[in-house]
Amino acid sequence: MNKKRIVIVGNGMVGHHFIEQVLALDSDHQLALITFSEEDRLAYDRVQLSHYFSGKTAADLALAHEVDYQQAGVSYHVNQRVTAIDREHKYVVTEQGKNIAYDHLILATGSYPFVPPIIGNDAEHCHVYRTINDLEAIAESGKQSRVGVVIGGGLLGLEAANALQNMALETHVVEFAPQLMAVQLDEGGGELLRQKIEALGVKVHTRKATEKIIAGDQCRYKLIFADGTELDTDMVVFSAGIRPQDALAKQAGLTLGERGGIVINDQCQTSDTDIYAIGECALWNNRIFGLVAPGYKMARVAASIMCGIDAEFTGADMSTKLKLLGVDVASIGEVHTSVDAAQVFSLSNDVEQSYQRIIVSKQGDKLLGAVLVGNVEQYSSLLQLMLNQLPLPTPPSLLLMPEALAASSQMTATDDLLGDEAQVCSCFDVNKGQIFQAVAEGCVDMTQLKSMTKASTGCGGCATFAKQIMETELAAKGHEVNHHLCEHFSYSRQQLADIIRIKKINTFSDLLTEYGTGLGCDICKPAVSSILASFWNDYILEPQHVGLQDTNDIYLGNMQKDGTYSVVPRIPAGEITPEKLIILGQVAQQFNLYTKITGGQRIDLFGAQLHQLPQIWRLLVDAGFETGHAYGKSVRTVKSCVGSTWCRYGMADSMAFAINLENRYKGLRSPHKLKFAVSGCTRECAEAQSKDIGVIATEKGWNLYIAGNGGMRSRHGDLFAADLDNDTLIQYIDRVLMFYIRTADRLQRTSVWLENLEGGIDYLRQVVIDDALNINAELEQEMAASLSHYQCEWKTTLESPQELRRFQHFINSRQPDLGLAYQTIRDQRTPRVWPESGETIAVVNITDQG
């Protein structure tokens, strides 16, 4: 039997995916596959390319392996470029002169990096960022360089900048457009991304047109810009966009677009019906798709047609979620829709340094697009709303508020609104029905789901939603649901907390070695860091812990919208002497800091540059202040009224008790931030019932309220116990908090924890008051041990010359950041407000750091 010969030119991610799809569909083995790769290796994961600089090898990135191709009967040729197509006689010609016949030809030639026509762009240490060989050349240049510049501020450009920074080079990004990632982000998202990246030490230069690269004085080269400015560097990496690799198609006389790209129809056919084009080389509907997911979709269409199955390409979702230089960024759907065609809502969280923008239809019933920077937890939910055009809550601005979103009955029913054809994973076109089918065939965890469906193995953005659907179906079928923290740990957060506590494990690496796999991720690292800190309370910047921390914890301060930091000293219960108040004023005056009294009864000093932080801490520590832990998932404040000390209604000395509580629990780390309050009477001036731990004085003692929340979704605290004496109250608080630390999920507030706790408040009373689990002695001992290791992290850092090196803007200079822009509002310095685009109709600024 003569098999139909399918020749695939290009063995990148899309070409390899085509082969995988054909092998899965061609059950009768009617097709013979022959593939060519220009590179000296088979397909590898270009999406994860930057991980090459953080320890992954070429073998780790490999998608195709010779033994697998051999076993599947796929003929492969590496390091062989196809130079010509003879359409009349239906064969291709290789650079080595071989003629390979085909029945159908698949062009998966991809794209090539665009190098701007700059004088000097071919110098020895000028590179492109596209292949593993490119990365090897960049790494070699990095060994001989001190400064590196990336020309291009798009996705790949920022990936390249991350690579340079990982090589410990002083790193610059030069972008011609007014902002970074102009295709994926709006102006607000691009500006916040710039601020966050510059805060990490990468200098960003926008609106810069590079004219030439010449020999430098201070460095190997000098970049000359059109505006007359210059920039010294030792190496240059070009990442200024891509161009479709269509030279082979042009030689064969196939129809091309005006600006390049091989024109295809809905079946991915070119102007020659026996030749197909897929991926970045293909031009569909006058559009080039520069992401891998649309290429995969084209590959599936072409593979289906090769196997006699009707299919068509109708476009693809360009949504993406990724981490650039440690900054979470996501783009969904249409992000540049004008306000005439839609409603636009945005939320700027100055505390968490995040930006969210949603675009909904003019009628307010459909989500069109979204931009997320800094906090992308809602990506999966928003993506499903957009992909499947689900109804939105009323008002649609609730989409910006995850806690309110979770509480909305319209959203809790979302899973029921999705039919089996609803798309879950856009990278591999996996729908809800396929996940249900995988469960029916024995899938019980995410590892199996990824293997059986490939869901969440592309960009990973659908992982949360895919897991939710899988677990819902497992529960419906009576299976025990897997609550593993992530793919690196086959344990829940609660189980890991028990392992760390019982086994006395002190570091993430020890836990990973004994109980995990791989290198860890952005889910398990901070979760384990929180557990370790809660139980052992080590200095978080110890070498074995520092890699687990986020930016705020690394620099012991809250990073603000302009890349500066806020300094929040602890002021227990808000009580402060005039002398200390004067010190705070003098420090603020000396460093020209914006000063605000917070809702937690302390003073926040905004606008400190990185190099100023140790100077400010020294003045404050010498004056008797300590860190207020405003940057950590920890006990923040204990708010209080003046109580019986001054108030004629006060039933007890709430001020003294609040000070004692704050001094007792300061520095306690937990799954999420914790806020306390103590009111001297039921008039409740301290608003204790809206706090995680609330205490109210009565004639007979203290009433204890727990799990209140004054955030986006307000929750009244539950009365836990009444008329308690001081010792019993503290005993109960110890037990409640340590039980919460043991059993809560990652980043779970006490309010959500209690709502999800089986048995609720009654069960918690049984555990804490009646000792139903016989663990109260343990809980108290663990709390005492954790609190005994308290230290002021500012003071510890000041005593470490090694750690102080971290607090400078540039690797080779102690110069301040001179690029910050300010204005004066109400006699105080604030970041400059840039002109608004006019697209945003609702803006929320969150500044509560209390």
Known binding-site residue numbers for siroheme: 685
Which pLDDT does position 846 carry in this prediction? Answer: 37
* pLDDT band (50, 70, 90) for residue 842: very low
The reported pTM is 0.58
Looking at residue 410, its pLDDT comes to: 38
Out of 28-32, 49-53, 631-635, pick the least confident: 49-53
Q: What is the pLDDT of residues 229-254, one digit of tens each?
A: 999 999 999 988 889 999 999 999 99
pLDDT at 163 exceeding the cut of 90: no
Higher pLDDT: 826 or 842? It is 826
Rounded mean pLDDT of 294-302? 93
C-alpha 460 chain-centroid distance: 11
- The structure tokens listed for 19 are 């082969």
Which of 356, 414, 357 is CA-nearest to residue 388? Answer: 414
Residues 553-603: tens digit of each pLDDT: 888 888 887 778 999 999 999 999 999 999 999 999 999 999 999 988 999
Take residue 385 and report the two structure tokens written for it: 């709303």
How many helices (H) and strands (E) in the chain? 29, 39
- Tens of pLDDT, residue by residue over 57-76, are 888 888 888 999 999 999 99
> 304-317, pLDDT tens digit by residue?
999 999 999 998 87
Task: List the one residue out of 775, 778, 755 whose CA is nearest residue 766.
Answer: 775
Contact 465, 446 (CB under 8 A): no
Identity (one letter) of the amino acid at 74? V
Give the pLDDT score at 780.
94
Which positions ≥6 away from 359 have C-beta within 8 Å?
Answer: 333, 334, 335, 337, 342, 343, 344, 367, 368, 369, 370
For domain 634-791, the CATH class is alpha beta
Mean pLDDT of 363-375: 86
Res 791 pLDDT > 50:
yes
> What topology is assigned to 4-112+244-306 in CATH?
FAD/NAD(P)-binding domain (3.50.50)
Binding-site sequence positions for [4Fe-4S] cluster:
641, 647, 681, 685
Say if 4-112+244-306 and 634-791 have the same CATH topology.
no
Q: What is the pLDDT of residue 74?
A: 95
pLDDT of residue 384: 77
Inter-residue contact 317 to 173 (CB < 8 Å) = no
Highest mean pLDDT, choosing among 340-354, 659-673, 830-844 = 659-673
pLDDT-based confidence at residue 841 (cuts at 50, 70, 90): very low
Provide the edge-to-edge strand list for the sheet that holds 674-679: 635-640, 674-679, 693-698, 701-706, 718-724
From the CA atom positions of the chain, what is the Rg in Å?
Answer: 29
Longest dimension (CA), the chain: 101
Q: Give residue 457's pLDDT.
A: 76
Across the range 162-176, mean pLDDT stands at 89
Contact 192, 346 (CB under 8 A): no
Assess whether pLDDT exceeds 60 at residue 289.
yes
Categorize the per-residue pLDDT at 847 as very low, low, confident or very high, splitting at 50, 70 and 90: very low
- SS3 track for 149-217: EEECCCHHHHHHHHHHHHCCCEEEEECCCCCCCCCCCCHHHHHHHHHHHHHCCCEEECCCCEEEEEECC
Number of residues in the chain? 850
Cα separation, 1 vs 422, in Å, equals: 40
The highest-level CATH class for domain 550-627+792-850 is alpha beta
Distance CA 45, CA 16 (A): 10
- Give the model's pLDDT for residue 480: 66
pLDDT tier, 5 (very low <50, low <70, confident <90, very high otherwise):
very high
Domain ranges of the chain: 4-112+244-306, 115-240, 493-549, 550-627+792-850, 634-791
Q: Are 706 and 736 in contact (CB under 8 A)?
A: yes
Binding residues: 641, 647, 681, 685
State yes or no: pLDDT of 796 exceeds 60: yes
pLDDT exceeds 60 at position 849: no
Bond preceding residue 614 cis, omega within 30 of 0: no
Residue 179's nearest CA partner among 210, 160, 200, 158 is 158
pLDDT in tens, 106-160: 999 999 989 999 999 999 999 998 888 898 999 999 999 999 999 999 888 888 8
Of 378 and 8, the one with more pLDDT: 8
Start-to-end CA distance of the chain, whole Å, equals 76
CA distances from 135 to 59, 535, 649 (A): 14, 42, 71
Long-range contacts of residues 822-827, Cβ cutoff 8 Å, at least 24 apart? 822/607
Please give the DSSP secondary-structure letter assigned to residue 393: P
CATH homologous superfamily for 115-240? FAD/NAD(P)-binding domain (3.50.50.60)
Residue identified by tokens 């070699």 is 140
At residue 364, the pLDDT reads: 84
